[in-house]
Every structure is written in structure tokens, then in C-alpha cells.
Amino acid sequence: MISVGIDAGSATTKAVLVKGDRSIIHTIRPTAFDFISAAEMAYKDVLDHAGVDKKAVDHVYSTGYGRNSIKFADKAISEITAHALGVYHLYPDVNGIIDIGGQDCKVISVNNGRVIDFLMNDKCAAGTGKFLEYTARALEVPIEELGELALASKTPAGITSMCTVFAESEVISLRARGFTKEDIAAGLIESIAKRVAVMARQIGLKQNVAFVGGGAKNAGIKVALEKELSISFCVPSEPQITGALGAALYSIR
């Protein structure tokens, strides 16, 4: 059985091809403006990598913000369910998932791959990739370097604004007051960690927690969030594809 999951996210589109439930091929592409063509291209990517013909694919399942626009998918499922299934495949024992994505963050409480409860922040950029993207700009640091920079700080600056726009002004005033880039970067990351930790505690995530999404690629956030929650996370080698993986596995399940 060959199944493909496509996660049409706000920033990146991910596709995962699963043969049986063993071999996993994936791709990650920027979503850009057109959800549909990004999804089509991601689909083509995994087919090419796997050397599989379109006709040999049994099921295509979609998830992510653009999930309902992908007409070639058999069915659309929510990211919450998709992440729960994808993470279950990698770490059957986890009972919590934290996902920091491009424009939202989610905390999910799970049991054997089933969703028990979840919380999302998608009404404002606080605690999301967008927050880092904007504030890194005010710091004039490429976003990829923000995490490493933060780890070098010993005295993180206090960033109190949860609002991305205000945090950006706060960064500028911290720069004016002579704070180092390292300390400001650490302050920004700490503020995301605090925000996400509140959500995680609200649904009672205590241990065996997986950390996924683009945010999990940022070593600074991982360290800060682990410290905030006093736990250590399971982080998949490719944390951005658990949604697409879960979508692919949905049909197999």
C-alpha cells in the first residue's frame, strides 16, 4: 500500500510518501502564494524520489491550512489529528505534542495516537514562527542564526510584549539601550517559550512530550522551552513532517 500525506502549511508545504508503514520519503517546500501548486509540486517531488508512478498511489490525504483546497486528495484531516498520528508512529509512548509552526502553535494531549485535548493559538502571532521572523528582522539577524545567538547569552533581556508588533519596537528600544544581540535574541526566545509553556500547562503536558514543527528546528527554543517546563523533549530528526506523515498514515490506520 502506498499512501501520500500532504501538509499545506502557511510557510512550508510538506509531503510524505509511505510504503507499507516502513519506508518514508519526504519533501519540504516553501508554500509561497499558491497553496495548490505548492502541494502539486511537493506531491511530484515525493513520487519522483520514490520512483513511484501516480497510478500506484492508493491514497492521498491532505492536512494543514490549505487542506481543503487540495482537490486531488481523497480526504482532508485536521493538523491536530495528523500530528497525533505522525508522532505516534515515531514515538508511540508520548502523551503530549507541542507544535510551533509558521503562523500558529498547538499543544496536544494524546493517548496511543488519539487526541484527548488540544489548544491552539492562531489568532495572534505570539508564540509562533512569525513572531521570530519579525523580531529577528528588528535585530538584523537571519532567523536561522537566532537560536545559536540566544544560546550564547548569559543574561537574557526581558521582553514583555506578547504582541509581535510591539515586541519589534521593544527590540529597537533595547538596542538603543545598549543590550547585546545575544541577550535580545535570548529574550525573544524566552518570551515564546513562556507563552507556549502556559498553553502546555493548561492541558497538563508533564512528560513524554514530542516537540515538532519548524520551531523545533530552533535549538534556542527547544532549550528555553525544556527549561520552562522542566522536561526534555523527543524531537524527530525531521520535525517539520509529522503532520504530513500522520496524514499519510491516516489511510493505513
Partner 1 sequence: MHCFESLDHLKNSYNTRISQIVDEKKAGKKLVGTFCLFVPDEIIFAAGADRIILCGGKNDTVSIAEQYLPRNICPLIKSSFGSIVNNGCSGVKSCSHFSMVDLIVAENTCDSKKKMYELLGDYVPTYVIDLPQRPDSPEALNYFLGELYKFKNIMEQLTGNKITVEQLKMEIKTSNETRQLLRRLYELRKIDSPPICGVDVLKLLQKQYFLSTEELKASLRMLINEVERVKPDGTHKPRIMISGCPMSSGNTKVPEVIESRGGVIVAEESCTGTRSFWDLVDENKDPMLALAERYIKIPCSCMSPNDRRIENILELAREFEVDGVVYYTLQFCHGYNIEKYKVQQALRKAGIPMLFIETDYSNSDIEQIGLRVDAFLEMLS
Which residues contribute to the site for partner 1 (CB under 8 A)? 65, 76-81, 104, 114-120, 122-123
Report which of 145, 165, 146 is spatially closest to residue 156, judged by C-alpha positions: 146
Shortest Å, Cβ 80 to partner 1 = 4
**Do residues 126 and 195 touch, judged by C-beta distance below 8 A?**
yes
- Nearest of 53, 65, 54, 77 to residue 5 by alpha carbon: 77
Give residue 156's identity as a one-letter amino acid code: P
Which CB sits closer to partner 1, 71 or 123? 123
Query: Please, which residue, 78 or 180, has the CB nearer to partner 1?
Result: 78
CB of 42 to partner 1, least distance (A): 20
What is the C-alpha end-to-end distance of the chain, expressed in Å?
A: 12
User: Which region, left, alpha or beta, applies to residue 112 given φ > 0 means left and ψ of -120 to 50 means alpha?
Assistant: left
Determine the length of the chain: 253
Q: What gap in Å lies between CA 238 and CA 165, rounded to an integer?
A: 30
Q: Look at the block and give the residue holding cell 524520489.
A: 49
Query: Closer CB to partner 1, residue 27 or residue 62?
Result: 62
Nearer to partner 1, 123 or 154 (CB): 123
Measured from the CB atom, the residue of 103 and 180 that comes closer to partner 1 is 103
Q: How far apart are CA 97 and CA 116, in angstroms?
A: 11
Is residue 85 within 8 Å of residue 250, measured between CB atoms? yes
